[in-house]
Structure 1
């Protein structure tokens, strides 16, 4: 879904780098595959054709964070916490 994105944080030998793969158009999605020590993150079309692909060594990945697209029907407000207190 457009707006889906995945952030990949890797150890680049003395520094930390962050890469972002995002579904850039309607109908596209981001898929993650793991195999043989390699993590593949791809933006794919509805039919499954990869548009962009990034491959990372699994041993170098510090974090892999998925950010789903925001649903327009869900309220994004955070309710205020109610405080436990004395009433009198």
Structure 2
């Protein structure tokens, strides 16, 4: 759903970098899959076609934060502010 997003913080050799993958259009969602030491964050369409893919080595990930959308179409952080 539009508004789904995942933030990934990685260790970049003494510094940290933050990457964000978000559902950019209505009907898309963000999926996270871990396989063989690699974390894959994918934005997919309604029928499962991947639009964007980001891959990270699991040993380099410091934090992975998922921000799902609630039933009203807003992220939980936005809903908590009301």
TM-score, structure 2 length as denominator?
0.86
Q: In 2, are the aligned partners of 1:11 and 1:60 still within 8 Å (CA)? A: yes
The structure with more radius of gyration: 1
Q: TM-score normalised to the size of structure 1?
A: 0.80
Aligned equivalent of 1:66: 66
- Deviation track 1:1-55 (CA, whole Å, cap 9, x = no partner) reads 1000000000000100000000000110000010110000000000100000000
Contact 1:3 1:70 in 2 (8 A): no
Is residue 37 of structure 2 the alignment partner of residue 37 of structure 1?
A: yes
Aligned length: 77
Q: Does the CA contact (< 8 Å) of 1:28 and 1:45 recur in 2?
A: yes
Stretches of structure 2 that go unaligned for 5 or more consecutive residues are none
For the residues of structure 1 that align with 2:14 and 2:61, how far apart are their CA atoms? 13
Give the RMSD, CA atoms, in angstroms. 1.9
Using a 3 Å threshold, how does the CA distance of structure 1 residues 71 and 54 change in structure 2: closer, same or farther?
Answer: same
